[in-house]
Structure 1
Protein backbone atom coordinates (compact mmCIF):
# COMPACT_ATOMS: atom_id res chain seq x y z
CA UNK A 1 0.00 0.00 0.00
CA UNK A 2 1.69 3.17 -1.24
CA UNK A 3 2.66 5.51 1.58
CA UNK A 4 2.05 3.04 4.43
CA UNK A 5 5.74 2.54 5.17
CA UNK A 6 6.22 6.29 5.52
CA UNK A 7 3.23 6.60 7.87
CA UNK A 8 4.61 3.76 10.00
CA UNK A 9 8.14 5.19 10.03
CA UNK A 10 6.83 8.52 11.32
CA UNK A 11 5.15 6.75 14.21
CA UNK A 12 8.25 4.75 15.06
CA UNK A 13 10.37 7.94 15.13
CA UNK A 14 7.78 9.58 17.39
CA UNK A 15 7.88 6.64 19.80
CA UNK A 16 11.64 7.01 20.05
CA UNK A 17 11.25 10.55 21.39
CA UNK A 18 8.57 9.77 23.98
CA UNK A 19 11.10 8.96 26.71
CA UNK A 20 12.76 12.39 26.71
CA UNK A 21 10.76 15.00 24.75
CA UNK A 22 9.15 18.03 26.34
CA UNK A 23 5.33 17.87 26.30
CA UNK A 24 4.78 20.79 23.90
CA UNK A 25 7.20 19.48 21.27
CA UNK A 26 6.01 15.89 21.60
CA UNK A 27 2.30 16.77 21.52
CA UNK A 28 2.73 18.82 18.37
CA UNK A 29 4.63 16.02 16.66
CA UNK A 30 2.03 13.44 17.74
CA UNK A 31 -0.85 15.60 16.50
CA UNK A 32 1.02 16.14 13.24
CA UNK A 33 1.51 12.39 12.73
CA UNK A 34 -2.12 11.57 13.50
CA UNK A 35 -3.29 14.37 11.20
CA UNK A 36 -1.06 13.29 8.31
CA UNK A 37 -2.24 9.68 8.57
CA UNK A 38 -5.88 10.83 8.73
CA UNK A 39 -5.42 12.89 5.57
CA UNK A 40 -3.63 10.00 3.85
CA UNK A 41 -6.42 7.57 4.76
CA UNK A 42 -9.08 9.99 3.57
CA UNK A 43 -7.32 10.34 0.23
CA UNK A 44 -6.32 6.70 -0.27
CA UNK A 45 -9.36 4.94 1.22
CA UNK A 46 -12.37 7.26 1.00
CA UNK A 47 -15.85 6.09 2.06
CA UNK A 48 -14.45 3.18 4.10
CA UNK A 49 -14.67 4.70 7.57
CA UNK A 50 -11.01 3.89 8.21
CA UNK A 51 -9.97 7.51 8.66
CA UNK A 52 -12.62 7.92 11.34
CA UNK A 53 -11.54 4.67 12.99
CA UNK A 54 -7.92 5.89 13.08
CA UNK A 55 -8.93 9.26 14.50
CA UNK A 56 -10.98 7.55 17.23
CA UNK A 57 -7.98 5.65 18.65
CA UNK A 58 -6.72 6.93 22.04
CA UNK A 59 -4.90 10.25 21.89
CA UNK A 60 -1.10 10.42 22.15
CA UNK A 61 0.22 13.18 24.41
CA UNK A 62 2.43 13.92 27.41
CA UNK A 63 0.22 16.40 29.24
CA UNK A 64 0.16 20.18 29.43
CA UNK A 65 3.06 22.21 27.91
CA UNK A 66 4.65 23.06 31.26
CA UNK A 67 4.12 19.63 32.86
CA UNK A 68 6.96 17.36 33.84
CA UNK A 69 5.76 14.00 32.52
CA UNK A 70 6.13 11.03 34.85
CA UNK A 71 7.66 7.77 33.69
CA UNK A 72 4.16 6.29 33.70
CA UNK A 73 2.86 9.07 31.45
CA UNK A 74 5.70 8.47 28.97
CA UNK A 75 5.04 4.72 29.03
CA UNK A 76 1.35 5.28 28.29
CA UNK A 77 2.28 7.50 25.34
CA UNK A 78 4.58 4.79 23.98
CA UNK A 79 1.86 2.15 24.41
CA UNK A 80 -0.63 4.30 22.53
CA UNK A 81 1.82 4.79 19.69
CA UNK A 82 2.32 1.01 19.61
CA UNK A 83 -1.46 0.59 19.42
CA UNK A 84 -1.60 2.90 16.41
CA UNK A 85 1.38 1.17 14.79
CA UNK A 86 -0.36 -2.20 15.17
CA UNK A 87 -3.47 -0.67 13.61
CA UNK A 88 -1.39 0.50 10.65
CA UNK A 89 0.21 -2.93 10.39
CA UNK A 90 -3.22 -4.53 10.02
CA UNK A 91 -4.40 -1.86 7.59
CA UNK A 92 -3.82 -3.71 4.26
CA UNK A 93 -6.02 -6.67 5.20
CA UNK A 94 -8.52 -4.39 6.96
CA UNK A 95 -8.78 -2.15 3.89
CA UNK A 96 -9.17 -5.09 1.52
CA UNK A 97 -11.94 -6.55 3.66
CA UNK A 98 -13.70 -3.21 4.07
CA UNK A 99 -13.70 -2.54 0.33
CA UNK A 100 -14.78 -6.05 -0.62
CA UNK A 101 -17.49 -6.15 2.02
CA UNK A 102 -19.38 -2.97 1.20
CA UNK A 103 -22.62 -3.70 -0.67
CA UNK A 104 -22.08 -1.01 -3.31
CA UNK A 105 -18.60 -2.38 -4.10
CA UNK A 106 -19.92 -5.92 -4.46
CA UNK A 107 -22.62 -4.70 -6.81
CA UNK A 108 -20.19 -2.55 -8.81
CA UNK A 109 -17.75 -5.43 -9.26
CA UNK A 110 -20.57 -7.65 -10.49
CA UNK A 111 -21.74 -5.00 -12.95
CA UNK A 112 -18.24 -4.37 -14.28
CA UNK A 113 -17.70 -8.09 -14.80
CA UNK A 114 -20.89 -8.28 -16.86
CA UNK A 115 -22.43 -11.04 -14.78
CA UNK A 116 -25.58 -11.47 -12.73
CA UNK A 117 -23.91 -13.11 -9.78
CA UNK A 118 -22.58 -11.40 -6.66
CA UNK A 119 -19.13 -12.58 -5.61
CA UNK A 120 -18.37 -12.51 -1.89
CA UNK A 121 -14.84 -13.03 -0.57
CA UNK A 122 -14.60 -11.87 3.04
CA UNK A 123 -13.87 -12.75 6.63
CA UNK A 124 -15.71 -11.09 9.49
CA UNK A 125 -16.48 -11.22 13.19
CA UNK A 126 -19.75 -13.03 13.89
CA UNK A 127 -22.57 -11.07 15.52
CA UNK A 128 -24.20 -14.35 16.53
CA UNK A 129 -21.48 -16.69 17.80
CA UNK A 130 -21.22 -19.69 15.41
CA UNK A 131 -20.98 -21.93 18.48
CA UNK A 132 -24.38 -20.62 19.60
CA UNK A 133 -25.86 -21.37 16.18
CA UNK A 134 -24.39 -24.87 16.37
CA UNK A 135 -26.01 -25.37 19.78
CA UNK A 136 -29.36 -24.44 18.26
CA UNK A 137 -28.78 -26.78 15.36
CA UNK A 138 -28.02 -29.68 17.72
CA UNK A 139 -31.23 -29.25 19.73
CA UNK A 140 -33.90 -31.88 19.26
CA UNK A 141 -37.33 -30.34 19.81
CA UNK A 142 -40.64 -31.93 18.90
CA UNK A 143 -42.54 -28.74 19.71
CA UNK A 144 -40.61 -26.21 17.62
CA UNK A 145 -38.79 -26.26 14.29
CA UNK A 146 -35.70 -24.06 14.66
CA UNK A 147 -34.83 -24.02 10.95
CA UNK A 148 -35.99 -20.44 10.38
CA UNK A 149 -34.43 -19.14 13.62
CA UNK A 150 -31.07 -20.64 12.67
CA UNK A 151 -31.30 -19.16 9.19
CA UNK A 152 -32.15 -15.71 10.56
CA UNK A 153 -29.04 -15.88 12.78
CA UNK A 154 -26.87 -16.93 9.85
CA UNK A 155 -28.22 -14.12 7.68
CA UNK A 156 -27.59 -11.65 10.52
CA UNK A 157 -23.92 -12.65 10.46
CA UNK A 158 -23.84 -12.27 6.68
CA UNK A 159 -25.47 -8.84 6.91
CA UNK A 160 -22.80 -7.71 9.39
CA UNK A 161 -19.99 -9.07 7.21
CA UNK A 162 -21.23 -7.04 4.23
CA UNK A 163 -21.95 -3.94 6.33
CA UNK A 164 -25.67 -4.30 5.51
CA UNK A 165 -26.77 -2.44 8.64
CA UNK A 166 -30.34 -1.82 7.47
CA UNK A 167 -30.73 -5.56 7.05
CA UNK A 168 -29.24 -6.14 10.52
CA UNK A 169 -31.94 -3.98 12.11
CA UNK A 170 -34.69 -5.84 10.28
CA UNK A 171 -33.26 -9.30 10.94
CA UNK A 172 -32.90 -8.61 14.67
CA UNK A 173 -36.54 -7.50 14.74
CA UNK A 174 -37.51 -10.67 12.85
CA UNK A 175 -35.73 -12.87 15.40
CA UNK A 176 -37.41 -11.33 18.45
CA UNK A 177 -40.82 -11.52 16.75
CA UNK A 178 -40.25 -15.16 15.79
CA UNK A 179 -39.45 -16.81 19.13
CA UNK A 180 -42.16 -15.90 21.73
CA UNK A 181 -44.00 -19.28 21.47
CA UNK A 182 -40.87 -20.98 22.81
CA UNK A 183 -41.44 -18.99 26.02
CA UNK A 184 -45.17 -19.83 26.00
CA UNK A 185 -46.13 -16.24 25.15
CA UNK A 186 -47.84 -14.43 22.29
CA UNK A 187 -45.32 -11.69 21.58
CA UNK A 188 -41.90 -10.51 22.65
CA UNK A 189 -43.30 -7.69 24.75
CA UNK A 190 -44.74 -10.38 27.05
CA UNK A 191 -41.42 -12.25 27.06
CA UNK A 192 -39.46 -9.14 27.99
CA UNK A 193 -41.92 -8.23 30.75
CA UNK A 194 -42.41 -11.62 32.36
CA UNK A 195 -39.47 -13.94 31.77
CA UNK A 196 -36.45 -14.34 34.05
CA UNK A 197 -35.00 -12.29 36.88
CA UNK A 198 -34.53 -8.55 36.98
CA UNK A 199 -31.19 -8.54 35.11
CA UNK A 200 -32.44 -10.76 32.30
CA UNK A 201 -35.70 -8.79 32.09
CA UNK A 202 -33.70 -5.60 31.70
CA UNK A 203 -31.67 -7.05 28.82
CA UNK A 204 -34.71 -8.49 27.09
CA UNK A 205 -36.62 -5.23 27.54
CA UNK A 206 -33.70 -3.37 26.01
CA UNK A 207 -33.71 -5.82 23.09
CA UNK A 208 -37.46 -5.37 22.67
CA UNK A 209 -37.35 -1.58 22.77
CA UNK A 210 -34.24 -0.89 20.72
CA UNK A 211 -34.71 -3.57 18.08
CA UNK A 212 -38.33 -2.63 17.49
CA UNK A 213 -37.84 1.13 17.47
CA UNK A 214 -34.77 1.05 15.23
CA UNK A 215 -36.30 -1.47 12.83
CA UNK A 216 -39.53 0.54 12.65
CA UNK A 217 -37.53 3.69 11.95
CA UNK A 218 -35.86 2.12 8.92
CA UNK A 219 -38.75 -0.06 7.75
CA UNK A 220 -41.52 2.51 7.75
CA UNK A 221 -39.85 5.88 7.19
CA UNK A 222 -40.54 7.44 3.80
CA UNK A 223 -37.95 8.90 1.49
CA UNK A 224 -36.82 12.45 2.30
CA UNK A 225 -34.42 15.08 1.02
CA UNK A 226 -31.49 13.88 3.16
CA UNK A 227 -30.88 10.38 4.55
CA UNK A 228 -28.34 9.23 7.14
CA UNK A 229 -27.55 5.53 7.01
CA UNK A 230 -27.20 3.60 10.30
CA UNK A 231 -23.83 2.59 11.70
CA UNK A 232 -22.98 -0.66 13.47
CA UNK A 233 -23.32 1.15 16.81
CA UNK A 234 -26.99 1.79 16.07
CA UNK A 235 -27.97 -1.75 15.05
CA UNK A 236 -25.66 -4.02 17.08
CA UNK A 237 -27.75 -5.85 19.70
CA UNK A 238 -25.42 -8.85 19.89
CA UNK A 239 -25.01 -8.99 23.69
CA UNK A 240 -28.72 -9.00 24.47
CA UNK A 241 -29.42 -11.31 21.54
CA UNK A 242 -26.89 -13.84 22.81
CA UNK A 243 -28.63 -13.90 26.20
CA UNK A 244 -31.94 -14.52 24.44
CA UNK A 245 -30.55 -17.41 22.40
CA UNK A 246 -28.93 -18.90 25.50
CA UNK A 247 -32.32 -18.93 27.26
CA UNK A 248 -33.90 -20.61 24.26
CA UNK A 249 -31.26 -23.33 24.43
CA UNK A 250 -31.90 -23.79 28.17
CA UNK A 251 -35.66 -24.10 27.65
CA UNK A 252 -35.46 -26.55 24.78
CA UNK A 253 -32.73 -28.62 26.42
CA UNK A 254 -34.67 -29.29 29.62
Structure 2
Protein backbone atom coordinates (compact mmCIF):
# COMPACT_ATOMS: atom_id res chain seq x y z
CA UNK A 1 0.00 0.00 0.00
CA UNK A 2 2.86 2.37 0.82
CA UNK A 3 4.54 1.50 -2.49
CA UNK A 4 1.33 2.14 -4.41
CA UNK A 5 0.91 5.42 -2.58
CA UNK A 6 4.44 6.47 -3.46
CA UNK A 7 3.87 5.65 -7.13
CA UNK A 8 0.61 7.59 -7.11
CA UNK A 9 2.13 10.66 -5.43
CA UNK A 10 5.02 10.75 -7.89
CA UNK A 11 2.64 10.28 -10.84
CA UNK A 12 0.51 13.21 -9.64
CA UNK A 13 3.61 15.40 -9.24
CA UNK A 14 4.85 14.46 -12.72
CA UNK A 15 1.50 15.32 -14.30
CA UNK A 16 1.50 18.72 -12.61
CA UNK A 17 5.18 19.47 -13.26
CA UNK A 18 5.47 18.11 -16.83
CA UNK A 19 1.98 18.36 -18.35
CA UNK A 20 1.49 16.96 -21.87
CA UNK A 21 5.05 15.61 -21.90
CA UNK A 22 4.27 11.90 -21.61
CA UNK A 23 6.69 11.58 -18.70
CA UNK A 24 3.95 10.64 -16.23
CA UNK A 25 2.83 7.88 -18.60
CA UNK A 26 6.39 6.50 -18.68
CA UNK A 27 6.43 6.43 -14.89
CA UNK A 28 3.09 4.63 -14.79
CA UNK A 29 4.33 2.03 -17.28
CA UNK A 30 7.26 0.93 -15.11
CA UNK A 31 7.08 -2.37 -13.23
CA UNK A 32 4.62 -2.54 -10.35
CA UNK A 33 5.80 -3.14 -6.79
CA UNK A 34 3.88 -6.17 -5.56
CA UNK A 35 4.42 -7.56 -2.07
CA UNK A 36 1.14 -9.46 -1.90
CA UNK A 37 -1.84 -8.78 0.34
CA UNK A 38 -1.40 -6.37 3.30
CA UNK A 39 -1.76 -9.06 5.99
CA UNK A 40 0.50 -11.59 4.28
CA UNK A 41 4.25 -11.98 4.73
CA UNK A 42 5.88 -11.68 1.30
CA UNK A 43 8.07 -14.53 0.12
CA UNK A 44 11.74 -14.05 -0.67
CA UNK A 45 10.87 -14.19 -4.36
CA UNK A 46 8.28 -11.45 -3.96
CA UNK A 47 10.76 -9.35 -2.01
CA UNK A 48 13.37 -9.80 -4.75
CA UNK A 49 10.93 -8.75 -7.48
CA UNK A 50 9.78 -5.77 -5.42
CA UNK A 51 13.38 -4.70 -4.79
CA UNK A 52 14.14 -4.85 -8.51
CA UNK A 53 11.02 -2.80 -9.28
CA UNK A 54 11.93 -0.18 -6.68
CA UNK A 55 15.51 0.00 -7.98
CA UNK A 56 14.19 0.43 -11.52
CA UNK A 57 11.94 3.30 -10.48
CA UNK A 58 14.72 4.98 -8.49
CA UNK A 59 17.06 4.78 -11.50
CA UNK A 60 14.30 6.27 -13.65
CA UNK A 61 13.90 9.14 -11.19
CA UNK A 62 17.65 9.68 -11.13
CA UNK A 63 17.58 10.25 -14.87
CA UNK A 64 14.49 12.47 -14.76
CA UNK A 65 16.29 15.86 -14.94
CA UNK A 66 18.04 14.92 -18.17
CA UNK A 67 14.91 13.29 -19.55
CA UNK A 68 12.83 16.38 -18.80
CA UNK A 69 15.29 18.72 -20.53
CA UNK A 70 15.51 16.53 -23.63
CA UNK A 71 11.75 16.08 -23.77
CA UNK A 72 11.15 19.82 -23.49
CA UNK A 73 13.64 20.47 -26.30
CA UNK A 74 11.86 18.07 -28.66
CA UNK A 75 8.22 18.94 -27.99
CA UNK A 76 6.71 20.48 -31.13
CA UNK A 77 5.67 23.79 -29.58
CA UNK A 78 9.12 24.26 -28.01
CA UNK A 79 10.89 23.47 -31.29
CA UNK A 80 8.74 26.03 -33.10
CA UNK A 81 9.27 28.59 -30.34
CA UNK A 82 13.04 28.24 -30.60
CA UNK A 83 12.86 28.63 -34.37
CA UNK A 84 10.85 31.84 -34.06
CA UNK A 85 13.19 33.27 -31.43
CA UNK A 86 16.22 32.78 -33.65
CA UNK A 87 14.42 34.23 -36.67
CA UNK A 88 15.18 31.20 -38.79
CA UNK A 89 13.02 29.20 -41.16
CA UNK A 90 14.19 25.82 -39.96
CA UNK A 91 13.81 23.76 -36.82
CA UNK A 92 16.50 21.97 -34.87
CA UNK A 93 15.73 18.75 -33.03
CA UNK A 94 17.65 17.25 -30.13
CA UNK A 95 16.35 13.70 -30.01
CA UNK A 96 16.97 10.94 -27.53
CA UNK A 97 14.04 8.57 -27.44
CA UNK A 98 12.84 5.00 -27.47
CA UNK A 99 12.03 3.80 -30.98
CA UNK A 100 8.47 2.77 -31.79
CA UNK A 101 9.77 0.74 -34.72
CA UNK A 102 12.82 -1.20 -33.61
CA UNK A 103 15.85 0.02 -35.61
CA UNK A 104 16.75 -3.64 -36.17
CA UNK A 105 13.51 -4.07 -38.13
CA UNK A 106 14.29 -1.05 -40.28
CA UNK A 107 17.80 -2.34 -40.89
CA UNK A 108 16.46 -5.78 -41.82
CA UNK A 109 14.09 -4.20 -44.34
CA UNK A 110 16.94 -2.13 -45.77
CA UNK A 111 18.98 -5.30 -46.32
CA UNK A 112 16.24 -6.81 -48.49
CA UNK A 113 16.13 -6.29 -52.25
CA UNK A 114 12.93 -7.94 -53.50
CA UNK A 115 12.41 -7.83 -57.25
CA UNK A 116 8.66 -7.20 -57.00
CA UNK A 117 8.59 -4.42 -54.40
CA UNK A 118 10.49 -1.23 -53.64
CA UNK A 119 10.71 -0.90 -49.85
CA UNK A 120 11.97 2.69 -49.90
CA UNK A 121 8.67 4.24 -48.88
CA UNK A 122 7.93 1.61 -46.22
CA UNK A 123 11.33 2.19 -44.63
CA UNK A 124 10.82 5.95 -44.69
CA UNK A 125 7.37 5.64 -43.11
CA UNK A 126 8.92 3.61 -40.28
CA UNK A 127 11.69 6.17 -39.81
CA UNK A 128 9.20 9.03 -39.73
CA UNK A 129 7.07 7.12 -37.22
CA UNK A 130 10.08 7.00 -34.89
CA UNK A 131 10.69 10.71 -35.48
CA UNK A 132 7.04 11.49 -34.71
CA UNK A 133 7.29 9.56 -31.44
CA UNK A 134 10.52 11.30 -30.47
CA UNK A 135 8.91 14.71 -30.93
CA UNK A 136 5.64 13.60 -29.29
CA UNK A 137 3.79 14.23 -32.57
CA UNK A 138 1.04 11.80 -31.66
CA UNK A 139 -1.39 12.94 -34.36
CA UNK A 140 1.29 12.17 -36.93
CA UNK A 141 1.89 8.78 -35.32
CA UNK A 142 -1.74 7.79 -35.84
CA UNK A 143 -1.62 8.82 -39.50
CA UNK A 144 1.74 7.20 -40.21
CA UNK A 145 0.65 3.90 -38.66
CA UNK A 146 -2.43 3.93 -40.87
CA UNK A 147 -0.23 4.72 -43.89
CA UNK A 148 2.03 1.72 -43.19
CA UNK A 149 -0.95 -0.60 -42.83
CA UNK A 150 -2.47 0.61 -46.11
CA UNK A 151 0.90 0.42 -47.92
CA UNK A 152 1.86 -3.25 -47.45
CA UNK A 153 -1.04 -5.52 -48.60
CA UNK A 154 0.51 -6.31 -52.03
CA UNK A 155 3.43 -7.98 -50.23
CA UNK A 156 0.86 -10.49 -48.95
CA UNK A 157 -0.77 -10.79 -52.36
CA UNK A 158 -3.85 -8.83 -51.22
CA UNK A 159 -5.53 -5.56 -52.19
CA UNK A 160 -6.41 -4.38 -48.67
CA UNK A 161 -5.13 -4.97 -45.18
CA UNK A 162 -8.55 -6.28 -44.15
CA UNK A 163 -7.95 -9.15 -46.61
CA UNK A 164 -4.53 -9.73 -45.07
CA UNK A 165 -5.99 -9.80 -41.56
CA UNK A 166 -8.70 -12.26 -42.54
CA UNK A 167 -6.60 -14.68 -44.57
CA UNK A 168 -2.93 -14.62 -43.61
CA UNK A 169 -1.36 -16.91 -41.02
CA UNK A 170 -2.76 -18.75 -38.04
CA UNK A 171 -5.20 -17.61 -35.38
CA UNK A 172 -2.66 -15.58 -33.40
CA UNK A 173 -1.34 -13.74 -36.44
CA UNK A 174 -4.85 -13.04 -37.70
CA UNK A 175 -5.78 -11.64 -34.29
CA UNK A 176 -2.79 -9.28 -34.26
CA UNK A 177 -3.44 -8.11 -37.80
CA UNK A 178 -7.16 -7.58 -37.22
CA UNK A 179 -6.38 -5.56 -34.10
CA UNK A 180 -3.85 -3.48 -36.04
CA UNK A 181 -6.27 -2.94 -38.93
CA UNK A 182 -9.23 -1.97 -36.77
CA UNK A 183 -7.38 0.11 -34.20
CA UNK A 184 -5.06 2.00 -36.55
CA UNK A 185 -7.90 2.75 -38.96
CA UNK A 186 -10.32 3.96 -36.28
CA UNK A 187 -7.78 6.11 -34.46
CA UNK A 188 -6.47 7.65 -37.67
CA UNK A 189 -10.00 8.31 -38.94
CA UNK A 190 -10.86 9.95 -35.63
CA UNK A 191 -8.13 12.54 -36.08
CA UNK A 192 -8.04 12.80 -39.87
CA UNK A 193 -11.72 13.39 -40.53
CA UNK A 194 -13.06 15.09 -37.41
CA UNK A 195 -14.19 18.72 -37.68
CA UNK A 196 -12.91 21.43 -35.38
CA UNK A 197 -14.81 21.72 -32.07
CA UNK A 198 -15.05 24.19 -29.22
CA UNK A 199 -12.91 21.89 -27.09
CA UNK A 200 -10.27 19.41 -28.23
CA UNK A 201 -8.33 16.79 -26.28
CA UNK A 202 -5.08 15.75 -27.91
CA UNK A 203 -4.18 12.04 -28.10
CA UNK A 204 -1.63 10.52 -25.75
CA UNK A 205 0.96 7.87 -26.59
CA UNK A 206 -1.38 5.27 -25.07
CA UNK A 207 -3.98 6.04 -27.73
CA UNK A 208 -1.70 5.92 -30.78
CA UNK A 209 0.95 3.34 -29.83
CA UNK A 210 0.48 0.25 -32.02
CA UNK A 211 4.13 -0.77 -31.77
CA UNK A 212 3.56 -4.39 -30.67
CA UNK A 213 1.24 -5.34 -33.53
CA UNK A 214 3.26 -3.26 -35.97
CA UNK A 215 6.41 -5.17 -35.03
CA UNK A 216 4.59 -8.45 -35.71
CA UNK A 217 3.58 -7.11 -39.13
CA UNK A 218 7.10 -6.00 -40.07
CA UNK A 219 8.59 -9.30 -38.89
CA UNK A 220 6.13 -11.19 -41.11
CA UNK A 221 6.99 -8.97 -44.07
CA UNK A 222 10.68 -9.73 -43.56
CA UNK A 223 9.94 -13.47 -43.43
CA UNK A 224 7.83 -13.39 -46.62
CA UNK A 225 10.31 -11.36 -48.63
CA UNK A 226 13.26 -13.42 -47.41
CA UNK A 227 11.51 -16.64 -48.41
CA UNK A 228 10.86 -15.16 -51.87
CA UNK A 229 14.55 -14.59 -52.33
CA UNK A 230 14.55 -10.91 -51.55
CA UNK A 231 17.90 -11.09 -49.80
Which TM bucket (shorter chain)?
0.7 to 0.9
1:110: Cα distance to partner? Answer: 1.0
Equivalent position of 2:189 in the other structure = 216
For residues 93 and 183 of structure 2, what CA distance do their matches in structure 1 show?
Answer: 30
**Where do 5+ consecutive residues of structure 2 fail to align?**
none
Shift of 1:156: 0.6
Aligned residues of 1:62 and 1:74 also touching (Cα < 8 A): no
Select the structure of larger CA radius of gyration: 1
CA contact (8 A) 1:62 1:77 kept: no
Instruction: Find out whether 1:203 has 2:203 as its counterpart.
Output: no
Q: Distance in 2 between matches of 1:196 and 1:60?
A: 37
1:139 aligns with 2:122: no
C-alpha deviation, 1:114, in angstroms = 1.4
- Residue 122 of structure 2 corresponds to which residue in structure 1? 149
Specify the alignment match of 1:165 in structure 2. 138
Residue 210 of structure 1, CA deviation:
0.5
In structure 2, what is the Cα distance between the partners aligned to 1:200 and 1:31?
A: 39
Corresponding residue number in structure 2 for 1:175: 148
Q: CA deviation at 1:234?
A: 1.1
CA distance in 1 between counterparts of 2:223 and 2:34 reads 46
Distance 1:31 1:174, change over 3 A: closer
User: What is the CA–CA distance in structure 1 between the aligned matches of 2:218 and 2:4, rounded to whole Å?
Assistant: 45
Whole-angstrom distance in 1 between the partners of 2:98 and 2:115: 32
Aligned to 2:68: 95
Give the Å deviation of 1:53: 4.8
TM superposition shift of 1:48 = 2.7
Q: TM-score, normalised by structure 2?
A: 0.83
1:124 aligns with 2:97: yes
For residues 184-221 of structure 1, give each alpha carbon's deviation from its aligned partner in whole angstroms, at most 9, with x where no partner exists: 11111111111111111111111111010110011001
User: Which shows bigger deviation, 153-162 or 96-105?
Assistant: 96-105
Higher relative CO (Cα under 8 Å, sequence separation at least 6) belongs to: 2
1:190 aligned to 2:176? no
Q: What pairs with 1:68-83 in structure 2 (closer than 5 Å)?
A: 81-83=54-56
Q: CA deviation at 1:56?
A: 6.8
How far the C-alpha of 1:160 sits from its partner, in A, is: 0.8
8 Å Cα contact 1:30/1:61 also seen in 2:
no
TM-score (ref. length: structure 1): 0.76
Query: Which whole-Å CA distance do the structure 2 matches of 1:33 and 1:166 have between them?
Result: 29
C-alpha distance in 2, partners of 1:103/1:252? 37
Q: Is the contact between residue 180 and residue 191 of structure 1 (CA under 8 Å) also seen in structure 2?
A: yes
Residues 113/207 of structure 1: CA separation in 2 closer, same or farther (3 Å cut): same
Equivalent of 2:208, from 235, 244, 249? 235
Aligned residues: 225
Tell me if structure 1 keeps the 8 A contact 2:33–2:53.
yes
In structure 2, the CA distance between the partners of 1:173 and 1:46, relative to structure 1 (3 Å rule), is closer
